[in-house]
């Protein structure tokens, strides 16, 4: 069987839902359908999830919630009407939202309960629509299916024990419509995964039922080798490996949620990213290994928002425990590091900006200086990371030289280079002003 997940833009309107129905009807192996909340119908539109978050916050602030509530209900009402769904699904949605609003709990759980209702109510609507169109479809709630997650509102993780329960879904004779994005804690509270987390649910369910394939329907024909906002009309990828996708999504490839790869990867379930608006396009297949690589580089990604701390100490290389002590200071301040390229007597620690603050930075510098007795420690200017990713780099010679020449031709100063021994990716640190130019230079070199 195939598990099929549809993203918000694929479920944003009646017109989109008709496409979804056809996709399910087309292939009888598509037995489990994981849905997002209705997303944007056009560029300036609002996602139902964002409206629900605003609604929860308004309620917590004791503000009038009528406007937001009506707006949310209207999104479902439009679809119910246009699709001529006869079951009283709209009434159920209204009652559900009223019930949630009248049971205010601790803020983070309250916000999560409202957020989760976006997918939950949409799943009920989609199941009712499928039934109206003659399919034997059933809505199943994550609690009934045994999807149990950690008690971490807004950032939950699936508990391993869930997989045993989820495998029962494979025995259902109906087409299962399953809401994405949330699960239940052991004591029955609704909590969500991180944003975009319906992809994660799809992968968890696919692992639970040992699916043949996990199809992830979105609004693009497949994954591009570079960000279309940086490069004109970039090429699309037919295949890529889990590792390549992981590396690329780390650096901002937003098509598929990076946390969703883990369950698929651990069970070896191939993932195909496809387009609801063009379902006959093959999309991109993400799997363990790809047919003989024709290219060395699979993709180019970039991401700004990093800061580096430079640390220098004479004879650092001989001091046992220096790195551990430095990382312990970061740990105690709840700061995670991304990369740590080093010289003989110096280290550079790359951190994400969003974890820092002027107060924290001052403490960091103070502690590193006095506890590690270093000669120098300071923050450098912000840095942007540009990544070349490709398993094909393992067997090829000269990739780094080609990248370096491309940067030289574009007159880009490379401030840092980091390549692990997996040779799957090379990370270059450049000035944020050079981000687009750097991506274009690499694209030209490897795909132009
Ligand atoms: N609706 C949720 C969000 O917007 C989850 C998802 O669509 O995957 O983040």
Bridge partners (DSSP) listed for residue 175: 137
Contact at 8 Å (CB) between 192 and 181?
Answer: yes
Low-confidence ranges of the chain (pLDDT < 70): 252, 292-294
| 197 touches ligand 1 (CB under 6 Å) | yes
| H-state helical runs in 334-428 | 358-371, 399-409
- What is the predicted pLDDT for the residue at 258? 82
Would you state the pLDDT for residue 293? 59
User: Which residues face 148 on adjacent strands?
Assistant: 184
Ligand 1 center to residue 175 CA distance, Å?
Answer: 22
Question: How far is ligand 1, taken at its centre, from the CA of residue 49, in Å?
Answer: 6
**Strand ranges (DSSP E) for 257-363?**
271-275, 284-287, 299-312, 337-339, 346-352
19 Cβ closer than 6 Å to some ligand 1 atom: no
Ligand 1: which atom is nearest the Cα of residue 36? 7
pLDDT (0 to 100) of residue 257: 86
User: Which residue in 388, 379, 387 sits closest to 335, CA to CA?
Assistant: 379
Q: Which of 10, 53, 118 to mutate to test the pocket of ligand 1 (most atoms within 8 A of CB)?
A: 118
| Cβ of 6 below 6 Å from ligand 1 | no
Nearest residue (CA) to ligand 1, atom 3:
196
Q: How many angstroms does the Cα of residue 270 sit away from the middle of ligand 1?
A: 22
Distance CA(416)–CA(428), nearest Å, equals 6
Kindly give, in sequence order, each residue whose CB lies less than 8 Å from that of residue 287, ignoring residues fewer than 6 positions away. Answer: 239, 241, 242, 270, 271
Q: How many CB atoms lie within 10 A of CB 381?
A: 9
Residue 291's pLDDT is: 74
Backbone angles phi, psi at 302, to 5 degrees: -150, 155
Does any ligand 1 atom lie closer than 6 A to the CB of residue 49?
A: yes
31 touches ligand 1 (CB under 6 Å) = no
- DSSP 8-class letter at 175: E
With a 6 Å cutoff on the Cβ, whether 8 touches ligand 1 is yes
Closest atom of ligand 1 to CA, residue 50: 4
CA separation for the pair 185, 99 (Å, rounded): 20
Closest to 52 measured CA to CA, from 10, 93, 4: 93
**Rounded distance, CA 441 to CA 431, Å?**
14
Q: What is the DSSP letter of 32?
A: E
Ligand 1 center from residue 36 Cα (angstroms): 6
């Amino acid at each position: 069987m195939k598990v099929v997940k549809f993203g918000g833009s694929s479920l944003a309107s009646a017109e989109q839902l008709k496409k979804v129905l056809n996709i399910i009807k087309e292939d009888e192996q598509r037995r489990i359908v994981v849905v997002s909340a209705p997303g944007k119908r056009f560029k300036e539109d609002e996602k139902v999830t964002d409206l629900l978050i605003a609604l929860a916050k308004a309620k917590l602030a004791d503000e009038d919630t009528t406007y937001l509530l009506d707006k949310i209900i209207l999104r479902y009402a439009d679809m119910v009407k246009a699709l001529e769904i006869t079951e009283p699904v709209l009434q159920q949605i209204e009652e559900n939202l009223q019930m949630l609003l009248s049971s205010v709990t601790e803020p983070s759980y309250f916000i999560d309960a409202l957020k989760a209702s976006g997918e939950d109510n949409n799943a009920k609507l989609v199941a009712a629509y499928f039934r109206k169109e003659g399919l034997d479809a059933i809505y199943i709630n994550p609690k009934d299916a045994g999807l149990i997650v950690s008690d971490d509102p807004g950032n939950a993780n699936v508990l391993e024990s869930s997989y045993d329960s989820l495998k029962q879904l494979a025995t259902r004779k109906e087409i299962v419509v399953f809401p994405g994005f949330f699960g239940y804690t052991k004591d029955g509270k609704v909590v969500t995964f991180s944003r975009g987390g319906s992809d994660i649910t799809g992968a968890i369910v696919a692992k639970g039922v040992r699916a043949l394939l996990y199809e992830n329907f979105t609004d693009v024909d497949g994954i591009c080798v570079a960000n279309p906002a940086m490069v004109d009309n970039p090429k699309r990828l037919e295949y890529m490996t889990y590792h390549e996708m992981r590396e690329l999504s780390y650096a901002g490839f937003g098509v598929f949620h990076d946390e969703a790869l883990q369950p698929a990867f651990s069970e070896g379930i191939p993932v195909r990213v496809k387009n609801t608006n063009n379902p006959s396009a093959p999309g991109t297949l993400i799997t363990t290994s790809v047919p003989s690589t024709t290219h060395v580089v699979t993709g180019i990604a970039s991401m700004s928002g990093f800061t580096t701390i430079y640390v220098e100490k004479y004879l650092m290389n001989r001091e046992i425990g220096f790195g551990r002590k430095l990382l312990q200071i970061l740990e105690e301040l709840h700061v995670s590091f991304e990369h740590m390229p080093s010289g003989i007597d110096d280290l550079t620690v790359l951190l994400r900006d969003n974890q820092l603050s002027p107060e924290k930075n001052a403490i960091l510098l103070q502690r590193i200086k006095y506890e590690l007795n270093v000669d120098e420690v300071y923050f450098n200017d912000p840095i942007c990371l540009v990544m070349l990713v490709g398993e094909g780099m393992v067997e090829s010679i000269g990739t780094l030289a080609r990248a370096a020449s491309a940067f030289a031709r574009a007159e880009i100063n490379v401030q840092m280079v980091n390549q692990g021994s997996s040779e799957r990716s090379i990370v270059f640190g450049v000035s944020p002003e050079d981000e687009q130019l750097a991506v274009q230079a690499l694209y030209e070199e490897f795909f132009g």
